[in-house]
Amino acid sequence: MLVKNNNRLKELRVNRGYTLDDIESKTGIKRGTYSNYENHNTEPKLETWQKLAKFYGVSVSYLQGNTFSKIDIYKVVCNEYITPIHDPFFEYIIEWHLHIMEIKDLKELFSINELRKFTKNVQNFFETNFQFVFLTELGKKCLTIEKSREKDVLSEICVNFSEAIRKVDEKLLSTPISEAFDKEVGDKLARFNKDKDQHNMLREADKKYIIRVTQDLAVALYGFSEKISDLPENSEITSNKARKRLKKFVDSGGKSFE
């Protein structure tokens, strides 16, 4: 089956700094053959797609251009920032992250018209300040979403993108006390809030279940309160400290903030 003329063979080659000769020496695919693939003169066989996908460390769908690129996702995100449709808290999450990093809001730096047109300067802003999202599992998940899907595609991108930022920001602002809370109480609180949905649980679950979940949460909260006295006092998290943590996260390839 012929893939539409939107493959990312040239984009990835150029971004990685490879010449056609480099590709030939590294993959065994002759420079002329690869050039024909790039220019859509000929179509790679499936095994060639798989070989090149492994070489670049991406999925076959991404290499063929069937999934959203980072630029595609930034455009979706920018539109959601201007007019939130899929996530009512999207604008707040974007601006809160920029506030933490002491970066001016998008609407202070660009006109609405510039944002809607997604100018080169707007694109550069997203690439500079939100590239870290694609080091998270949720960000990587955005890159696997097929363009051909008809349902909830934009919503999934926006929700994943904002949740990725929120989780990273939690780490940027974490303290020994917040980390202890997450460890001791986090799972129990999440269960109380989300398991069977708190609203439905309190109105529809039987008393025995509600008592068990409530007691589990109470025990966890008590255990946390007992540990607080041995922990250092919360200190102010400066933007400088947040930037250092984010840099470590990026430098580690998304593996660590410390």
Token pair of 68 as six digits: 């959203």
pLDDT reported for residue 150: 61
* Sequence-distant (≥ 6) Cβ neighbours of residue 76 within 8 angstroms: 68, 154, 157, 158, 161
Low-confidence ranges of the chain (pLDDT < 50): 1-3
Token pair of 105 as six digits: 């809001």
DSSP 132: G
Token pair of 102 as six digits: 């002491």
pLDDT reported for residue 235: 81
Q: Which of 137, 144, 114 is nearest to 126 (CA)?
A: 114
pLDDT reported for residue 196: 52
Contact (CB, 8 A) for 128 and 56: no
pLDDT reported for residue 1: 37
pLDDT reported for residue 258: 76
Per-residue pLDDT tens for 13-59? Answer: 998 999 999 999 999 999 999 999 999 899 999 999 999 999 998 88
pLDDT reported for residue 3: 43
pLDDT reported for residue 203: 78
With residue 19 as reference, give the H or E element that holds it. Answer: none
